[in-house]
Amino acid sequence: MSEFVRILALDEIGAGVERRITANPQERAALAARFDLRSLDRLDAVLTATPAPGGVRLTGRIEAEAVQACVTSGEDVPAHIDEPVALLFLHNLGPAGDEIELHEADCDVLPIEGRSIDLGEAAAQTFGLALDPYPRASAEVLAAARKRLLSEEEAAAREAAEKANASPFAVLKRNS
């Protein structure tokens, strides 16, 4: 089951219908876990469903504010997503298990299961695909993280040197 469900019944579409959807805090937390994010502070979409031959065309835009982890330092990387949505939901994509040859223009085609489509899942998938797969912190943030790491390594090296130079009897004295 999807973390962000907004069902639109096919009989509600008529000549076309627009929906504005927003993920609530629990849905955002679940989506953040799904997409391995530090946080997802906002996910909104404005979507228009219109009839299309054999199904429904879904167009619109999603906007989101998220925080990802830098792939090199683990530091926070803010992500602003403003992505168009262009999907085609079709009734008959072929029998289950049959191979379907996809062309470049067909890559955003999804099956209609039952008598409805899930606008929330469509928005979530579009959001997930729009995220940077290799987020990197800015040069300034990376430099600060490097400096912090070096300071920690230097402190650990100093502590190790002090232990190495300590008298073996000092350990016994501390333990008694």
DSSP state of 12: G
Least confident range of 77-81, 94-98, 110-114, 150-154? 94-98
Least confident range of 1-5, 80-84, 130-134, 140-144? 140-144
Q: CB count, 10 Å around CB of 16?
A: 12
Instruction: Tell me the mean pLDDT in the region 156-173.
Output: 63
pLDDT tens per residue across span 33-91: 999 999 999 999 999 999 999 899 999 999 999 999 988 888 899 999 999 999 999 98
* Token reading at 77: 């990387």
Q: CB count, 10 Å around CB of 29?
A: 15
Q: Are 110 and 88 in contact (CB under 8 A)?
A: yes
Entry pTM: 0.74
Q: What are the residue boundaries of the structural domains of the chain, listed by start?
A: 7-137, 141-175
Q: CB count, 10 Å around CB of 88?
A: 18
Phi–psi pair at 25, nearest 5 degrees: -55, -40
Could you tell me how many residues make up the chain?
176
Helix (H, G, I), strand (E, B) or coil at 64: strand
What is the C-alpha to C-alpha distance for residues 25 and 135, in angstroms, rounded to an integer?
24
